[in-house]
Amino acid sequence: MSTQIPTILLGLLLISLAMLLAVAGAILAHNRIPIQLRKSHTVPLGLINGGLIVTFGVIVGFLAFLVLNKYQAAEQRVQSEAADVEEVYRYAQELPEPRSVIRSKGSPSPMPGRWWRRNGP
């Protein structure tokens, strides 16, 4: 018997755990590392942070481009299929109307194994 945790719950749990560890680490660093030593590391960490932000922006830009490209391709596909359906409909308009068949009670139905009944289900 296996119990599965829903994906949304697992995701929230992991994000909450990561946030808790980050806050605990920041509090621990604030209490243990002197202010002068922390100030000396601010500029290099700011440069690394700037590089990471640029990288993240480029990745998001590429993802947006790919999603938009897939959306446009899907939209074209839908329009093409709609045009095909319209063409089939127009061709079907030219076909003759089906002839109605009047069946009497007891005559065989178009479905095998059943008999046509006018007064029954």
**Residue 104: per-residue pLDDT:** 58
Helix (H) or strand (E) holding 78: helix 42-93
| Residue 108 contacts residue 115 (beta carbons within 8 Å) | yes
Give the whole-angstrom CA distance, residue 117 versus residue 107.
Answer: 8
Domain ranges of the chain: 42-93
| 3-state SS assignment for residue 18 | helix
| 3-state SS assignment for residue 104 | coil
pLDDT single digits (tens) 69-86: 999 999 999 999 999 999
pLDDT single digits (tens) 2-37: 678 889 999 999 999 999 999 999 999 888 988 888
**Residue 110: per-residue pLDDT:** 58
